[in-house]
Amino acid sequence: GLGFNIVGGTDQQYISNDSSIYVSRIKKDGAAYLDGRLQEGDKILAVNGKDLKDLRHKDAVELFRNAGCDVSLKIQRRLQPQNGPVGHQSDGESGGLPLAAILVPGLALAATAVWIWLRYRQRM
């Protein structure tokens, strides 16, 4: 499989008055996880150029199952965290930012600051 679960559709709205298809869970070590671009909460607009608008959940699932080996997804990144239906949990995993998404830029900034400071000290 593609390594992620979806929710939504005209018959199973994940968000009130929105029948869009959303990524509910990225499976560890699955294709989507290893690729790294797809995130939980992303809205999937199209699969291999086929629009997902106004599809039932099972029809969207079929599109993914028949997508083939090379899959192209058109997504809309969720800007603000949203709560799903009451009681929705993702197997104990949080939908927040991975720790690396915070640490890597922070360490890069710190390393740059140290480098600038050392270069400045050499000139004195």
pLDDT digits (tens, 9 = 90+) for 59-90: 999 999 999 888 899 999 976 555 655 444 44
What is the sign, positive or negative, of the torsion defined by CA atoms of 83, 87, 88, 93? Answer: positive
CATH class for the domain made up of 4-76:
mainly beta
Exposed e or buried b per residue across 78-96, where buried means at least 16 C-beta atoms within 10 angstroms of its C-beta = eeeeeebeeeeeeeeeebe
Q: Can you tell me the mean pLDDT for 85-114?
A: 61
Q: Can you tell me the mean pLDDT for 103-114?
A: 75
| 17-28 pLDDT, tens digit each | 999 999 999 999
More confident residue, 8 or 93: 8
In the predicted structure, residue 93 carries a pLDDT above the cut 50: no
Q: Are 8 and 21 in contact (CB under 8 A)?
A: yes
Domain ranges for the chain: 4-76
In the predicted structure, residue 4 carries a pLDDT above the cut 90: yes
